[in-house]
Amino acid sequence: MTTDPASATSVAAVPSPAGPTDSSAPAAVAAPATGSSTGATVQFVGLRRTFGATTALDGLDLTVNPGELLALLGPSGCGKTTALRMLAGFETPDSGQVLVDGEDVTRIPAHRRDAGMVFQSYSLFPHLNARDNVAFGLKMRKTGKVERHRRADELLELVGLPTHGDRYPHQLSGGQQQRIALARALALQPRVLLLDEPLSALDAKVRLNLREEIRRLQQELGITTLFVTHDQEEALSMADRVAVMHAGRMEQCDTPAELYARPATAFVAEFVGTMNRIPGALTEGGRTVELLGQRLPVDGTTELRAEVDVLVRPENVLVTAGGGQGAVVTGTTFLGASTRLTVQLPDGTALKADLSTHDAAELPAGTGVTVSLPERPVLVDSRR
Amino acid sequence: MAGVTASALNTEGRPAPSTANGPGPAGARGGVLAGLSRIRWGRGTVLLVAGLYFLVPIGTTLWFTVDNSPQGFSLDAYRQIFTVPGLWPALQLSLLLAAGTIVLVYLLLIPAVVAVRLGSPRLRTVVELTCTLPLVVPTIALTAGISDVLRWCNDNLAPTPFYATFLDAQNANFPVVLLLAYVVMALPLAFRTLDAGMRALDVRTLLEAAQNNGASRGRAIVTVILPNLRAAMLNTAFITLALVLGEFTVASILGYVPFAVWIVNGNSAGQGPVTVAVSIVSLLLTWLLLLVLSIGSERRGRAQAQH
């Protein structure tokens, strides 16, 4: 977890990263992970793995706290799935360790790891009905048939499909199959739950439902969960913390709100949410930056050269009609409650600015406008 | 049947084109309907030709077994099936050989297909080529090769302890030599059916899911992969059975008398109607077996659908 005491207040101040159309998203974010007796601590220590010429993991260090849902977020090929598969035991690192509750499990074969996994593709056993699928692990552990079925029915109830025990996978929809897969992953009461893009094969509506359900279950059970996704909205709305990965390394691991408000690197800033780059010049030895006729304090310390880009979220850009700045609205996109304006500055920089639809109605394309930023510390990055 | 009815309804009142080309790349809705009526003609022609091709020989064969000129209709040929000498040993030998071939093909191919799929997908081409090789080797060449090997063994193994094994392998009650030849001949089709069944599965994910649920790799293959290969394995068994029951060349030249050889021998020995009656009966039995298989799989599907 972050050590910055200010982060607690910034949670409420930051608007939903999912965009103005999805007001329900931050609800899940706000709930902190409470330590639970069943949750285990997972640690990746210096994990390294190469496949031929490509480096999947380039020294990954990460700690997942007991009972927390941590999302591994990144573009495809960033190593997030490899990391998850190492915890499941399907990949072996070239170097480094995987620890569960302090115990090194790196060399333990997959079938003796205490981790339930839900796969991206439908992975139910086609020859078994839903109940037997869920009970498969119990059967492997030689649990009696009666007890096995009782447990399976319990779990089917838990995932909301109590009447589907006798159905075979080909008789179930994609969303139902993934629910059964979730029940199967939980059947052995694992210490860790692994979700490998479990929602990416589903359609949008089912995805939203299942997302909330997974989060609810995870919090009820208090199980430590690793969730791999390339969908930032999914990660931000579900996870206690999000670890952003890039090229086999971790860029930043923080709460969704902190990640959105204070991205540690330019990659995170631009991968998570939308970010504007506005040219500016550092002044006062790097403590302030001048842009758009304003002088704003710089967030954190910087050792960059004078020519920098200031990183600003669209919702933090203020646009007013008129003025002699020479900026022009070049396009508008209606998003519901808000409207996204594209504004061109005199130097050619294109900006995105989110305004309430009511305000934006007075600024159609072609309007001359003035762009300014609120008097708050801003993030800077070296100019591209 | 449903398709024919539907197309008849769709094309009601339309003149049917005389061409039997099947559906072309229809540009408009009307083109699709016209295409359907063309299918109907095409279907009819194909059905007629295929029907004649299959039914005429069977019909005339049947005629041959029941027409006892000049007395007229008679079922004597079928009555004799139960008394004619040599039939039951020959059939027994063929069924034994078929069972042995199926078991050996399973033992050879299932581990190979699984290993290739999991271990080194690039080796698949090699395995496929190897398994297809018997198709391009004429049976007669294969038999000639086997004869040569047997002769060489006969000349050179006599003083060694292997000679007894060698003789056992040629035991007329269960000729292992013949069994081995049949395994080779069954490889091309058996590999294809098993490989197709395997490819229909997401083997890697299924195995990982099983391992994740506490099954070791070996156990995962047995409890998850094999049950899902059941249909492919049944197909393989059936094709192999058909192949062994009908094989004549190798068995005949090597001097064994399984089912097919018995039929041909009996025919030339003047037992004509009986042997042909046996052919008809075996055809019916094969057909019944097919029916049982397909009903079995259908019932399984229905049972799944009802729950």
Q: What is the CATH number of the domain that holds A222?
A: 3.40.50.300
Residue of chain A with shortest Cα separation from B204: A123
pLDDT tier for residue B259 given thresholds of 50, 70 and 90: confident
Out of B205, B228, B305, the one facing A123 most closely (by C-beta) is B205
Domain stop point among A225, A244, A270? A270
What is the average per-residue pLDDT within A366-379? Answer: 88
Quick check: B211 and A90 CB within 8 A? yes
The pLDDT assigned to B161 comes to 72
Q: How many CB atoms lie within 10 A of CB A208?
A: 18
Least Cα separation, residue B202 to chain A (angstroms): 8
Q: Choose among B209, B213, B228: nearest Cβ to A127.
A: B228
Q: Do A188 and B227 touch (CB under 8 A)?
A: no
B219 to chain A: which residues are within 8 Å by CB?
140
The answer on A250 and A291 residing in a single domain is no
Q: Are strands A276-283 and A307-312 parallel, antiparallel or unpaired?
A: antiparallel
For B30-56, give one letter per residue: b (16+ CB within 10 A) or e.
eeebbbbbbbbbeeeeeeeeeeeeeee
Please report the pLDDT score of residue A99 as a whole number.
Answer: 92
Per-residue pLDDT averaged across A198-213, rounded?
Answer: 88
Residues A96 and A242 both lie in one domain: yes
Domain assignment present for residue A195? The answer is yes
Q: Which of B285, B188, B207 has the alpha carbon at shortest distance from A88?
A: B207
Residue B167 confidence (pLDDT) above 50 = yes
Q: What total number of domains does chain A contain?
A: 2
Same-domain check for residues A216 and A286: no
Going by pLDDT thresholds of 50, 70 and 90, the confidence category of residue B35 is low
Distance from CA of B236 to the nearest CA of A (A): 19
- As a whole-number percent, the residues of chain B with pLDDT over 90 amount to 14
pLDDT attached to residue B296:
65
pLDDT tens, residue by residue, A224-269: 999 999 988 899 999 999 999 998 889 999 999 988 888 888 888 8
Based on DSSP, count helices (H) and strands (E) in chain B, helices before strands: 15, 2
In chain A, % of residues over pLDDT 70: 89
Q: Are residues A172 and A238 located together in one domain of the fold?
A: yes
Q: Which residues of B touch A (CB under 8 A)?
A: 201-202, 205-206, 208-217, 219-220, 223-224, 227-228, 230, 304-305, 307
- Cβ(B241)–Cβ(B255) below 8 Å: no
Could you tell me which of A225, A230, A232 has the C-alpha nearest to residue A195?
Answer: A225
Residues of A in contact with B210 (CB under 8 A): 125, 136
Read off the pLDDT band of B32 (50, 70, 90). low
In terms of domains, do A142 and A244 share one?
yes
Within 8 A by CB and 6+ apart from A326, the residues are: A345, A346, A368
The answer as to whether A187 is a domain residue is yes
Subunit contact B307:A129, Cβ cutoff 8 A: yes
Indicate the Cα dihedral angle B221, B226, B232, B237, nearest 10°. Answer: 120
Residue A86 CA, chain-centre distance (Å), reads: 20
> Is residue B139 a contact partner of residue B251, using CB atoms and an 8 Å limit?
no
- The distance of A113 to chain B (nearest Cα, Å) reads 8
Give A57-83 pLDDT, tens digit per residue: 998 999 999 999 999 999 888 889 999
CA distance A209 to A187: 22
Strand pairing of A350-356 and A368-372? Answer: unpaired
Instruction: Please write the tens of the pLDDT for every residue from B127-163.
Output: 999 988 888 888 888 888 888 888 887 777 777 777 7
B226/B231 Cα distance (integer angstroms): 10
Domain that holds residue A360: 276-382
Nearest to A197 by CA among A212, A178, A180, A222: A178
pLDDT of B34 above 70: no
The structure tokens listed for A16 are 């939903």
Asked whether residue A32 carries a pLDDT value surpassing 60, the answer given is no
Nearest residue in chain B measured CA to CA from A184: B213
Interface test with A, best of B199, B207, B212 (most A CBs within 10 A): B212
Say yes or no for a CB contact (<8 Å) between B210 and A136.
yes
A131 and A239 share a domain?
A: yes
Q: Are residues A250 and A350 in the same domain?
A: no
The H or E element containing residue A278 is strand A276-283
What is the 8-class DSSP label of residue B15? Answer: P
CB contact under 8 A, A111 and B220: yes
Q: What is the CATH number of the domain that holds A345?
A: 2.40.50.140
Length of chain B, in residues: 307
Residue A17 domain flag: no
Q: What is the mean pLDDT of residues A370-374?
A: 89
Closest approach of A85 to chain B, Cα-based (Å): 10
Check pLDDT > 70 for residue B213: yes
Q: Is residue A158 part of a domain?
A: yes
Partner residue facing A111 (CB), from B202, B215, B230: B215
Considering the domain boundaries, does residue A15 fall inside one?
no
pLDDT at A309: 87
Residue A74 inside a domain? The answer is yes
Q: What pLDDT shows up at residue A271? A: 87
| Domain final position from A227, A243, A270 | A270
Q: Do A171 and B305 touch (CB under 8 A)?
A: yes
A249 and A332 fall within a common domain: no
Instruction: State pLDDT tens for residues A269-308.
Output: 888 888 888 888 888 777 888 888 888 888 876 666 778 8
Helix (H) or strand (E) holding B179: helix B176-199
The minimum CA-CA distance between B306 and chain A, rounded to whole Å, is: 9
- Could you tell me if the ipTM is greater than 0.95? no
Least confidently predicted of A21-25, A167-171, B299-303:
A21-25
**Are A258 and A281 part of one and the same domain?**
no
Which contacts (CB < 8 Å, 24+ apart) does range B8-14 have? B8/B40, B10/B36, B10/B37, B11/B36, B11/B37, B11/B40
Residues from chain A contacting residue B230 (CB–CB below 8 Å): 127
Share the mean pLDDT of chain A. 84
In-domain check, residue A208: yes
A266 and A322 in a single domain? The answer is no
Domain boundary residue, one of A243, A270, A297: A270
A155-159, A231-235, B164-168: the lowest-pLDDT one: B164-168
Residue A7 inside a domain? The answer is: no
Q: What is the mean pLDDT of chain B?
A: 78
Q: How far is B301 from chain A (nearest CA, A)?
A: 10
A15/A224: higher pLDDT: A224
- With CB atoms and an 8 Å threshold, state whether A184 touches B220: no
Name the phi and psi angles at A225, rounded to 5.
-130, 135
The answer to whether residues A152 and A78 belong to one domain is yes
Say yes or no: A153 and A247 in one domain: yes
pLDDT of A166 over the 90 cut:
yes
